[in-house]
Amino acid sequence: GDSVTQMEGPVTLSEEAFLTINCTYTATGYPSLFWYVQYPGEGLQLLLKATKADDKGSNKGFEATYRKETTSFHLEKGSVQVSDSAVYFCALTDSSASKIIFGSGTRLSIRP
Amino acid sequence: SAVISQKPSRDICQRGTSLTIQCQVDSQVTMMFWYRQQPGQSLTLIATANQGSEATYESGFVIDKFPISRPNLTFSTLTVSNMSPEDSSIYLCSVDTNTGELFFGEGSRLTVL
């Protein structure tokens, strides 16, 4: 079945460092791809999304490009801040587009 | 967008008891979902609840253990029955507003002793 594999954490970086969190997927058809973020003590919220190949989702300085040829949707940010410390989940809609499947999550910690 | 309220936000329960979690949405939505997030784990879909029909359960989840109600387009409940410590998790309600994006409540953190 459809699945999402993402980089294991935790990831610890210094402020202003470059961030990449890898995400690859297995799916039949053409899923939509998402990154969700869960800040400490809060619920999940959508960070960005892409609905077709070569689309780039972006928000709050984060970007991810839907790469069909490599079945990837890596999350990047050029200069992270302490406030970016959170758990990041890569996700996709399943082949029936009736539900969203989540990866295992990557905990990111940013040192001042 | 959608604003989702869940109650209770947290609870501590005794083994063998049951707890009902409520989910209220500020707009009418067709599809509501219940997820479980065990400590340090990702989200696992328990069931999809559509108004006017029986909930659809994912593999590994059964109605006797997790009965769901969906009486109208803005409300749903999930009951965790005959609880054991393994049921200690965060239970999350989410909705799809037909944009392909899920909105989540803040979750109900359940601890079973």
Contacts of B55 in chain A (CB under 8 A): none
For residue A97, pLDDT over 70 is answered with no
Q: Determine, for residues B101 and A105 on separate chains, whether the beta-carbon distance falls below 8 Å.
A: no
Where do we find the tokens 């801040």? A81
**Terminal-to-terminal C-alpha distance of chain A:** 41
Structure tokens at B54: 């029986």
Contacts of A7 in chain B (CB under 8 A): none
For chain B, residues with pLDDT lower than 70 are: 100
Instruction: Write the pLDDT tens digit of every residue in A9-46.
Output: 899 999 999 999 999 999 988 899 999 999 988 888 99
- The residue count for chain A: 112
Structure tokens at B65: 């253990």
Question: What pLDDT does A42 receive?
Answer: 83
CA-based torsion, B57, B62, B66, B67: positive or negative:
positive
CA-based torsion, B41, A10, A94, A47: positive or negative:
positive
Among B83, B61, B63, B74, CA closest to B32: B74
Spell out the residues 6+ positions from residue B25 whose beta carbon is closer than 8 angstroms to its own: B2, B3, B4, B5, B32, B74, B75, B95
Phi, psi of B101 (to 5 degrees): -110, 135
Beta bridge partners of B37: B43, B90
β pairing state of B108-112 and B10-13: parallel
Alpha-carbon distance A100 to nearest alpha carbon in chain B (angstroms)? 8
Question: What pLDDT does B102 receive?
Answer: 84
The beta-carbon neighbor of A99 closest among B33, B42, B92 is B33
The residue of chain A nearest to residue B42, with distances taken between CA atoms, is A104
Categorize the per-residue pLDDT at A103 as very low, low, confident or very high, splitting at 50, 70 and 90: very high
For residue A102, pLDDT over 80 is answered with yes
Residue by residue, DSSP assigns A44-85 as EEEEEEE-STT-EEEETTEEEE-BTTTTB--EEESS--GGG-
pLDDT averaged over chain B?
92
**Do B92 and B110 touch, CB atoms closer than 8 A?**
no
**Do A89 and A8 touch, CB atoms closer than 8 A?**
no
Question: Would you state the torsion angle of the CA atoms of residues A83, B93, B105, B73, taken in this order, to the nearest 10 degrees?
Answer: 140
Give the type of residue at B67: P
Contacts of B48 in chain A (CB under 8 A): 98-99
The beta-carbon neighbor of A46 closest among B92, B101, B106 is B101
Give the type of residue at B68: I
